[in-house]
Amino acid sequence: MEKLREALRERGSRLTPQRLAIYEHLRDTKSHPSAETIYGELKARYPSLSLNTVYQTLQVLDEIGLAQKLPVESREARYDGNATGHAHLICLECERIWDIDGEALPAVSEIDRQAEKKGFKVVRNQVQVYGVCPDCQAKGR
């Protein structure tokens, strides 16, 4: 929470209950939710919350580096409270998203290096593997 307050202050922004709730929700989940999902999950505790505020807050969190937007194949973007560069595993059937940790990082760095070799100034990357998760493979039998 202090991290959030500090990052907001640097930007000349205020810490509101809505921003705190969305920040903590993202921090505490591994599910990479959509804006709509976050809205639905917080609505019970914050009945006056508006979807618009969720969108605005997610944008702010993205800008101050405390979250990232994941543009995926499905229509709605998903959000990640972990803003560090890491690869994602996305199930085409259940649309759940998992992190690929550790061992994929050197590969991602290698790709960045290739980009820099072409004179690109790299800002961020999106590495997403689409497929079918073990659960859905089992169901699909």
Partner DNA sequence: TATCTAATTAGTTGTTATTCCTATTACTGC
Partner DNA sequence: GCAGTAATAGGAATAACAACTAATTAGATA
Residue closer to Mn ion by CB (options 49, 67) is: 67
Give the integer Cα–Cα distance in Å for 122 and 59: 21
All residues at 6 or more sequence positions from 110 whose CB lies less than 8 Å from its CB, including other chains: none
Cβ proximity of 136 and 93 under 8 Å: yes
Q: Judged by CB under 8 A, which stretch of 19-27, 34-42, 45-53, 131-139 contacts a copy of itself?
A: 131-139
Report the candidate in 15, 13, 39 with the shortest Cα–Cα distance to residue 26.
Answer: 39
93 binds, among Zn ion, DNA, Mn ion, none (CB under 5 to 8 A by kind): Zn ion
Q: Which stretch binds a copy of itself (CB under 8 A): 6-14, 26-34, 52-60, 123-131?
A: 123-131
Site string for Mn ion, 68-87 (x = CB under 5 A): ------------x-x-----
